[in-house]
Structure 1
Amino acid sequence: MLKRELRVILVSLIVSFILTAAKFAAYFMTHSVAILSDALESIINVIAGGFACYSIYLAGQPKDANHPYGHGKVEFFSIGFEGAMIFIAGLLILFKAVQYFITPRVLHEMVNGLWVVGATTIANLFLGLYLLRSGKQLSSITISGNGQHIMTDVYSSVGLMVALAIIQFTGWNWLDPVVSVLMGSLILVKGYQLMRRSISGLMDETDMKTIDRIIDILVASRRENWIDVHNMRVQQYGNNYHMDCHVTLPYYLSLHEAHEEMKCIEQLVNKGFEGSEVEFFIHMDPCIPSCCHYCLKEACPVRGDAFRGKIDWTRANVLPNRKHG
């Protein structure tokens, strides 16, 4: 899988380098600040692609004594770095737009520039879709983040093409820096979103979608011995996850029987996260009399209270560190 991830990001790096060169050629041809804005953003594609190559390589290294959870968190650094670069590019674009408002420049060969931008936009569209699909298949936040950035580039380039066409047919050269301001603002927002995602990952912020996914897996295969689940926590390390939780079991199960129940949970969740590896730390709690009224085990030899209804496992009762009852 590591080789495939590296191959995907290398394709992105090579294509981005070629497209960046083409966009700068279009800028020198037209002197359009809007095209320059597009080219500056593409430089970030190249820089981020290079950093992503290293982060994917490092994330694929095996666990060691100094990194018992592996090296996967470097991917959060990768998307944070990419977000910071995008944010800086947005600021540079806004700065150049203000300069062009103050000192307008004559535009040249707009038709040729429009053709070049159109060709790079189509190439970027195919690249972005390829990266998003690959990122989803490989569960790689680095590749997915790179794909999201490329797609943002596509959207801004489409807007740029529309603006260039309007300028060509109307002669409204003042529209050039206006479009650049809009593009710069869009890029700033995208950079902030990637940095926000990076910080949340590094700070182990709970991913509620992942929690819901695990809950759905457990609910779909719920066994009568699984009386209660609580204190669930999930951390992501690149393509891997670390999950810990408390599971309440009948107190009279043997150690071997309890171990088999935990093993079943591990197999179910790993199957549901196919393509990733989920590492577990499950704490087994013995049941107590207050659990009887929601225990699903019909043939329980020690039941002390009548069954009154099961507890539905949701975020509200799976995440807190308390046994129900």
Structure 2
Amino acid sequence: MMEKRVKAALVSVISNTFLVTAKLVVGFLIGSVSVISEGIHSANDLLASFIALFAVKSASKPPDEKHNFGHGKIENISGTIEGLLIFIAACLIIKEAIEKILHGGEPLALGWGIGVMGLSALVNLLVSSYLMRVAKATHSIALEADAIHLRTDVYTSAGVFAGLLLIHFTGWTMLDPIAAILVAMLIIRAAFELTSKAFVPLIDTALSEDEVSEIKAIIENYSDKFVEYHDLRTRRSGREKHIDFHLVAHSDSSIQEVHDLCDSIEDHIMREIPHSHVLIHCEPVCCCEGEEACQAADLTRSHA
């Protein structure tokens, strides 16, 4: 059965292929720079969708000898590239719009442009909502980036749709390149937000404050079975979340008891924090209270 993330990425590729063709054909036929700019934007979306498809397929691979912690960061790289592509698309749109303002030109057969923009907004609204649901369910940054990408297209298509309607009723053709420039401004904003969100985890940032608070609450739920914990560290790699900390066990606890305690804490964290990998280093209160406590000091438990 096809993996849920891969299926969602394929839906994005198919929908963007259709919209690129429709927008560019109609845009050139009616001579509308705002529709052509939307075609360029959708071509950018299509490339981004292919990148997202590659990313989710690659990120799903299990750890190997060269990638002991898996391939999760491929999704972050994908999101960063998508953000840069969006920015490039915005620059191309502005260039086309300025040339239209300087050299003039009048779009024809506005009905076709209005129709394709309305259809584009509707299709991308449905697809982006679907992608975001799958992204949240699977914790996929690549699909979330693609969803944000397409949601931007919803707003920009709706903007061009409104601009063409105004031209139809007012006859003021200058609204076409103005609408295109406004589209580009929205795209640049989306590019900045997306790039920031995707790039930051590449430098091993911690999990969110809410997630860290939840991890602490889970550990403290077992506080009657250990002395203390310290050196809690977290980092994100794509959808994968790595968590490690030191647990100070009672010196009279057996290795089996400490082992079972670690299992319980790890299982609990992994249930509440999906796609997490937990590493616990156990320490005794001191090593002068028996050989068994000293052995516990060297016990390191790891689960994925």
TM > 0.5: yes
- Give the aligned partner of residue 257 of structure 1: 257
1:181 aligns with 2:181: yes
Instruction: Count residues in correspondence.
Output: 285
- Give the aligned partner of residue 212 of structure 1: 213
Show the 5 A alignment for 1:142-181. Answer: 142-181=142-181
Equivalent position SS for 1:235: strand
Asked if the contact 2:80–2:199 (Cα under 8 Å) also holds between the matched residues in 1, the reply is yes
Distance 1:206 1:155 in 2: 32
What one-letter code is carried by the residue in structure 1 that aligns with 2:69? Y
Task: Render the CA deviation track for 1:279-298: whole Å, top value 9, x for unaligned.
Answer: 2221224348xxxxxxxxxx
Asked if the contact 2:242–2:278 (Cα under 8 Å) also holds between the matched residues in 1, the reply is yes
Asked if the contact 1:86–1:188 (Cα under 8 Å) also holds between the matched residues in 2, the reply is yes
- Give the aligned partner of residue 104 of structure 1: 104
What one-letter code is carried by the residue in structure 1 that aligns with 2:193? Q
- Give the aligned partner of residue 10 of structure 1: 10
What one-letter code is carried by the residue in structure 2 that aligns with 1:75? E
- Give the aligned partner of residue 282 of structure 2: 284
1:123 aligns with 2:128: no
Asked if the contact 2:75–2:141 (Cα under 8 Å) also holds between the matched residues in 1, the reply is yes
Distance 2:285 2:152 in 1: 52
Equivalent position SS for 2:204: coil
Distance 1:210 1:16 in 2: 35
Q: Could you tell me how far 1:254 is from its partner in structure 2?
A: 2.1
Distance 1:100 1:21 in 2: 22
What one-letter code is carried by the residue in structure 1 that aligns with 2:28? F
Q: 1:235 to 1:218 in 2, by over 3 A?
A: same
Q: Could you tell me how far 1:239 is from its partner in structure 2?
A: 3.1
- Give the aligned partner of residue 229 of structure 1: 229
- Give the aligned partner of residue 72 of structure 1: 72
Task: Render the CA deviation track for 1:158-178: whole Å, top value 9, x for unaligned.
Answer: 122111111110111111111
Asked if the contact 1:235–1:241 (Cα under 8 Å) also holds between the matched residues in 2, the reply is yes
Asked if the contact 2:167–2:175 (Cα under 8 Å) also holds between the matched residues in 1, the reply is yes
Distance 1:215 1:31 in 2: 60
Distance 2:101 2:190 in 1: 24
Distance 2:2 2:67 in 1: 18
Q: 1:31 to 1:230 in 2, by over 3 A?
A: farther
Asked if the contact 1:59–1:71 (Cα under 8 Å) also holds between the matched residues in 2, the reply is yes
CA-based RMSD:
1.8
Which structure has more helix as a fraction of its residues?
Answer: 2
- Give the aligned partner of residue 241 of structure 2: 241
TM-score by length of 1: 0.82
Show the 5 A alignment for 1:17-28. Answer: 17-28=17-28
What one-letter code is carried by the residue in structure 2 that aligns with 1:117? M
Q: Could you tell me how far 1:212 is from its partner in structure 2?
A: 3.2
Q: Could you tell me how far 1:157 is from its partner in structure 2?
A: 1.2
1:138 aligns with 2:143: no
What one-letter code is carried by the residue in structure 1 that aligns with 2:9? I
Distance 1:135 1:90 in 2: 25
- Give the aligned partner of residue 303 of structure 1: none
TM-score by length of 2: 0.88
- Give the aligned partner of residue 83 of structure 2: 83
Q: Could you tell me how far 1:129 is from its partner in structure 2?
A: 0.6
Distance 1:287 1:157 in 2: 64
- Give the aligned partner of residue 55 of structure 2: 55
Structure 2: state its 5+ residue gaps.
287-304
Q: Could you tell me how far 1:226 is from its partner in structure 2?
A: 4.0
Task: Render the CA deviation track for 1:202-260: whole Å, top value 9, x for unaligned.
Answer: 101123243234234445x3431244333222222333221111223323322222222
Structure 1: state its 5+ residue gaps.
289-325
Q: Could you tell me how far 1:83 is from its partner in structure 2?
A: 0.7
The percent identity for this pair of structures is: 29
Distance 1:54 1:223 in 2: 44
Q: Could you tell me how far 1:4 is from its partner in structure 2?
A: 2.2
